Structure 1
Amino acid sequence: MYKNVPIFSSYSFDNKFLDEVFDSQGNVRDIYKTLFDLYECHSISDFETLNEYAKTSFFNQGITFQVYGNNETKEKIFPFDLFPRIIDHKEWQHIENGVLQRSKALNLFLEDLYHDQNIIKEGIVPQALIESSANYLEQMKGFDPPGGIYNHISGTDLIKHSDGNYYVLEDNIRCPSGVSYVICNRTALKRALFGVFDKYKIHTVNDYSQNLLDILETVKPQGVDKPNCVVLTPGVFNSAYYEHSYLAKGMGVELVEGRDLFVEKGFVYMKTINGPKKVDVIYRRIDDAFLDPEVFNPDSVLGVPGLFSAYKTGNVCLANAPGTGVADDKAIYTYMPEIIKYYLGESPILKNVHTYHCNRKDDLEYVLNNIASLVVKPVDEAGGYGIFIGNKLSKKEIEDVKKIILKTPRKYIAQPIMSLSVHSTYIEDEKSFEPRHVDLRTFTLLGKDKSYVLKSGLTRVALKKGNLVVNSSQGGGSKDTWVLKK
C-alpha cells in the first residue's frame, strides 16, 4: 500500500506553532532542503524498514530506560526518530554562550550559598526560599569542593518559541541524564542512513566521554598526580543505568556500586581482585540522600559509609557536589536573571520563561485564578512527573489542582503554556510524518579553569499529537541533533 508513497505526502501544517522544517507557506526551510530531498527518495515502505532496523539496533545495544508506574516498573527501548534536527552555527553559538553563562553563574551562586550568602544578605534571593529547599545541605556550609566546582555536569532544558527565540525551561544540576542517548542517536542514524552525512558538515558527539574525563581529572584532590576516576551507579534497576555503564566504558573507567567501595583512614578504595585501589574522583549518579548512610539516610544500601567524611577531608572529589540540588530547584529558576547579573555583571543571554512561584502571595493568587492557561510544576520533580497542563484539565480537575497547590504552595511554580516549536517526526501508527513538539537538553561541563559544551543535545519529542510533555517517561522519544560547522 505504501510502497511508492513519498514519506512527506500527508504532512499537515499548523500555523499556530513554529515548524522548524517548513515555513508558514509550507516550503522547506533552506537548512533542511538537502536533507528533505534525500529523505524524499524513500517511500514510506522503505522508511518503515529503516525504522525497524533502528529499533533493532537500539534493542541489541541495550539502549533502554525504566518507566516507573503505580504498580510496576517497565523497561522500554528508547524511541528514536530517524529525521534529525538541524541547528546552524550562528544559532548554536547563541545557545552555547547562554548555557555556559548559566552554568558559571549557578556555580558561583552555590559557592556563595554555602559560604558568605551575600546574595541573601543583599535581599536578592530570599533566605526562606533557600532554607525551605529539601536539597540545601547544611553539611556543605563552609566547605570548598576540589577545584571550586559544584556543578561539574549541567543539563539545560530549552524550547524554541513561536517568536523564534530560545527560552530556558529549567536547569538540571543534580544528576542530569540523557547524554548517552545523544551519542547513540548519532550512531543509529549513521547505521540506518549513512549517506545523509556526506551532505552536511556536522560537529561530532563522540568526544563527550573524553571531555568528561578531562573535566573530572581537573578537580582531583591535592597531591594526586594521575587521579583514578569511577562512575558510581545505584545499580541495574535505575532508570539511567544504561547511561552509567555507557559513560564508564566511554571514559575507560570502572563502573561501581556502593558495595564495591569502602573508606579507610579517610580515603576511598575500590575492591579489586588484586586488592584495594584508591579512588580519587567519583562521578556519582546517586542522589544526596543515599550517598552515605552515616550522614544522610541511615537505611541507604546504595552509598558508602564514611564517603562524605572522606569528601569533606578533601581526599576524594564528588561530581556533582552534594547540595547542588538547591540551585536547580524550580523556585530558584525564577531568580536566574538576577543571579546571572549579580555574579557575572551580565544580562542573561537566554531568556527565562515567565514563572510564578506559588509561595509568593500575588503569584499564588494569579495562579489560582488562571490555572486553565498555565502549566503547574512541582519544584523538585523530574521526568515530567507531577505536571498539570491547565488547558487539558476539566473544571473538577482544576479545583483539585488548586487544593494541591494550597496544601504546599512552596512546592509549586506555574508558567504560561508556551508554544513549543514542532518538528517533522515519523509516527509509526499513522505510517506518516507529522509535526510534533520538541525541546532540547544541552550538556555543559565545568572543571578547574576549563569548560566544554557538547555541540549537540538531546532533542526530545512528544510523540502523542498535541502533547507538550516530551519526557521519555511520559511517552516521548528523541532525535539526533545536528550542529553545523561554520
Structure 2
Amino acid sequence: MSQVNWNNYACRDFYDELMAAPGQPRESAGELCNMLARFSAEELAERKTAAEIAIRTMGITFTVYSEGAMIDRAWPFDIVPRIIPTNEWRKTEAGLKQRVQALNLFIDDLYHDQKVIKDKVLPAEVLAQSVNFRPQCVGINPPHGVWAHVCGSDLVRDGDGTLYVLEDNLRIPSGVSYMLENRNVTKRVLPELFASGKILPVDDYVAQLYDMLASMSPRPGDDPQIVVLTPGIYNSAYFEHAYLAQQMGVELVQGSDLLVDDDDVVYMRTVE
C-alpha cells in the first residue's frame, strides 16, 4: 500500500511548490511525486531513518543557545526535497548576481563619492548612525572593487509563488555547508532522483569559493595563504567553519592565531 495518495492531498491557502491541486503535481515535481507514491510506509520510514543516521555519522550539527547552555543538535532534514524548475532558477540566479553587483557598488559608493547620499536616495543620518560603517575604509579600493565576497540572500515565496529576497547577509553569510551536506544526504536516501541527470550539481561550490578568495590576493600569481576565521568551537556555525576549511584545504584559525606585524602584513602563528 502506498504511503502517499496525492488525490487526498490538502492544498491550503498558500503557494504549494509540490502540488497545483489535489492529485495534480506541478510539472517540475511530477517525477518526485510519482516516485514517492510508489514507496510503502515502511520503505519511506526506512529512508527517513537512513537520513537521520547519515546526519549523525557525518556530524552535521548546529548549536542552540538556550538558557545560557549551548546544545549541539543534529541538523533537521526533510527527505522530501524542494524542486525549483530550471527556468525559474536561471531567472533567480541572474537576479541574485545582479543584486550582489549592485550591493558592492553601493558599498563602494559609501566609501568614496557617496552619490547615494548626495542624491538623497539614502538619508545621511542613516549612514552617520550605522555602527557598521568604518571611517578607516574611506578611500580604500579593494581588489576588483569587491567589498562583499560572499552573499547569503534569503529567499521567500509570495502567495502567487513569486520569489523575493527577504534580506541579504553580507557580513556573516552562513548556511552553505548545510546545503552541500543536504544534497549529499539526499543522494544517499533518494538516489533514484539523480538517475536522470536532470538535477544541477552543487559540488563545485567549494572550488569556486577557493578560486574567488585566491583571486583577491594582493600578489597575483603567488600561492595565496587563505584561512577560515572562526570564533571557536562554541560558535553556532562552527560546523560550517570547520567543513569549509577542510573542503578547501586551508587552515581554520581563531583571532588569537593571527597577528599584524610592523610591515602591516597579517601573519599566522605556528607551533614552530
Q: Which residue of structure 2 aligns with residue 176 of structure 1?
A: 173
Query: Which one of 105, 110, 114 corresponds to residue 111 of structure 2?
Result: 114
Asked if 1:147 corresponds to 2:149, the answer is: no
Partner of 1:75 in structure 2? 72
1:269 equivalent to 2:267? Answer yes
Normalised by the length of structure 2, the TM-score is 0.93
Q: CA deviation at 1:61?
A: 1.2
Q: CA deviation at 1:83?
A: 1.0
Alpha-carbon spacing, 1:146–1:65, altered in 2? closer, same or farther (3 Å): same
Whether the 8 Å contact between 1:217 and 1:227 is mirrored in structure 2 is yes
Q: 1:438-483: per-residue Cα shift (whole Å, max 9, x none)?
A: xxxxxxxxxxxxxxxxxxxxxxxxxxxxxxxxxxxxxxxxxxxxxx
Q: Which whole-Å CA distance do the structure 2 matches of 1:175 and 1:87 have between them?
A: 26
Deviates more, 1:22-31 or 1:202-211: 22-31
Deviations 1:404-444 (A, max 9, x none): xxxxxxxxxxxxxxxxxxxxxxxxxxxxxxxxxxxxxxxxx
Of 28, 32, 44, the match for 1:47? 44
Larger relative strand fraction = 1
Gaps of 5+ in 2: none
Given candidates 190, 193, 196, the residue that maps to 1:196 is: 193
Q: 1 CA distance for matches of 2:155 and 2:234?
A: 29
CA distance in 1, matches of 2:5, 2:55: 25
Residue-by-residue CA offset, 1:315-367 (whole Å, 9 max, x unaligned): xxxxxxxxxxxxxxxxxxxxxxxxxxxxxxxxxxxxxxxxxxxxxxxxxxxxx
Task: Identify which of 22, 27, 32 aligns with 1:30.
Answer: 27
User: Is the contact made by 1:21 and 1:28 (CA closer than 8 Å) also made in structure 2?
Assistant: yes
1:409-448 residue pairs with structure 2 within 5 A? none
**Larger helix percent:** 2
In structure 2, distance between residues paired with 1:249 and 1:181: 14
Does structure 2 retain, via aligned residues, the 8 Å contact 1:34–1:199? no
Percent of residue pairs bearing the same amino acid type: 42
For the 8 Å contact 2:154–2:167, the answer to whether it is kept is yes
What are the ranges of 5 or more consecutive residues in structure 1 without an aligned counterpart?
Answer: 276-486
Matched, 1:133 2:127: no
SS at structure 2 position matched to 1:81: coil
* Number of aligned positions between the proteins: 271
Q: Deviations over 1:223-257 (max 9, x none)?
A: 66221111111111111111111111111111111
1:152-231 pair list within 5 angstroms: 152-222=149-219, 225-231=222-228
- CA RMSD across the alignment: 1.8
Offset at residue 12 of structure 1 (A): 4.2
Once the two structures are TM-superposed, the CA of residue 10 in structure 1 deviates from its matched residue by 9.1
1:262 & 1:123 partners in 2: Cα distance? 41
> After alignment, is 127-136 or 98-107 more displaced?
127-136
User: Are the structure 2 counterparts of residues 26 and 131 from structure 1 closer, same or farther at C-alpha, using a change threshold of 3 Å?
Assistant: farther
